[in-house]
Structure 1
């Protein structure tokens, strides 16, 4: 049985193997297990990464946005009963486009639609946005492996 939404850090860490400082999903607000998900990432103003990227114009790196989207998609996939207990490894990003910068204090909406899913391979169309404005889109691919 699924916990009531929204899901916070405790539920997210019960699904994903990631831990601080590399959990890039703050909460899950909607999910259709194995099919789609909507989550959010609160971008802290004091995130250490901004000391170097860039000190005078802090911007969340695109690779972190892609990782946040992959983590959200993985949560949706790993809720399918036959895939619980697996780890999703990002193996490809196709057609990535970055349209808006993400800055400290933003809340990024993370959406993923699972296009293909098998016991071994997952393909998801993903989109990140802030206040309804699209930041990034891509098609991501993941390979699933048992945790052991």
Structure 2
């Protein structure tokens, strides 16, 4: 049986070729593992220079939970939009279920974003998504997505 290596090294340039997000809303920095349509592991380096820290919160900068979920969704979108049938399309949220925030994400943290597709039928699907800081869960959710134009 042939073993396939899913370890990859996609940087910002390659990510931007797959998903349409751009600054200030591109929230992943690199992809290190990808099984197109199945699983992805990506990273987001959180720095003090992030635009959202200006107001969330100036005295105690914390990455907004919704942006952690968005980072997870973008990682998942890389895996889905890498499939031949979805290249050049856009992945949209259809829903977010069971979201839990377990740890504050602070400047200097590196988020490890792991997204695994649980169901993919036609142009819609459901994924299990977990964000880690070191080996501690920072956030998790079930993401429902739809592929558009």
TM range, normalised to the smaller chain? Answer: over 0.9
Paired residues for 1:73-92 under 5 Å: 73-92=76-95
Aligned to 1:40: 43
TM-superposed CA distance for 1:22, in Å, is 0.5
- Distance in 1, matches of 2:102 and 2:144, equals 21
Does the 8 Å contact 2:125/2:145 carry over to 1? Answer: yes
- Distance in 2, matches of 1:20 and 1:74, equals 17
Q: Which structure 1 segments of 5+ residues have no match?
A: none
Is the aligned partner of 1:71 residue 2:74?
A: yes
TM-superposed CA distance for 1:119, in Å, is 3.0
- Distance in 1, matches of 2:33 and 2:49, equals 28
- Distance in 2, matches of 1:30 and 1:53, equals 31
The TM-score normalised by the length of structure 2 is 0.93
TM-superposed CA distance for 1:53, in Å, is 0.5
**Could you give the per-residue CA deviations for residues 3-52 of structure 1, whole angstroms, max 9, x where no partner exists?**
x8211000000000111110000000101111000000001111121111
- Distance in 2, matches of 1:20 and 1:96, equals 25
The TM-score normalised by the length of structure 1 is 0.93
Is the aligned partner of 1:22 residue 2:25?
A: yes
- Distance in 2, matches of 1:16 and 1:42, equals 18
Aligned to 1:7: 10
TM-superposed CA distance for 1:122, in Å, is 1.6
Q: Would you identify which runs of 4 or more consecutive aligned residues in structure 1 move more than 6 Å?
A: none
Q: Which structure 2 segments of 5+ residues have no match?
A: 1-6
Among 135, 138, 141, the residue aligned to 1:135: 138
Does the 8 Å contact 1:83/1:119 carry over to 2? Answer: no
Does the 8 Å contact 2:12/2:30 carry over to 1? Answer: yes
Count of equivalent residues: 143
